[in-house]
Amino acid sequence: MENEKLETVVSDHADTLARHDEQIKQNCKDIIKIENQTEAINRLATSVELLAQQGSTTNEKIEKLDKKVDDKFGLMDDKFGKMDDTIEEIKAQPDKKDADKWREIVKYVLLFMLGAVLGIVAKKIGL
């Protein structure tokens, strides 16, 4: 009977040992999967870090270009403002000349009319 007990115990231990061997094999497979996943995560983290650095560099370049564009548009606005002023001056010049001519004509017409009225008055008075 003791032999039977020993055989039973040994058999139980053998079963337990076999299960433990299977669990160890499965754990080794799981560890390899986790190692592969960890490597993939590390590569991904490195890629994200590189993207962040490139994004920062890109942002700096965009800011520089934005400043250059603002500067150029500022210069262009100044030039367009000066051109608008010049155009207005050019447009006003003929009007000024025409206005001066009309003023002269009106002045001579009024002087002629005044002279005619004074001449008529002088004739009536007998001068």
d(CA 58, CA 52): 10
Predicted local confidence at residue 1, as pLDDT: 66
d(CA 52, CA 73): 31
pLDDT tens across 46-104, in order? Answer: 999 998 888 888 888 888 888 887 777 777 777 777 887 787 777 767 667 777 888 89
Predicted local confidence at residue 44, as pLDDT: 92
- DSSP H or E run through 17: helix 2-125
| This prediction's pTM | 0.43
Instruction: To the nearest 10°, report the CA torsion of 81, 83, 84, 85.
Output: 90
Give residue for tokens 């008529």.
Answer: 120
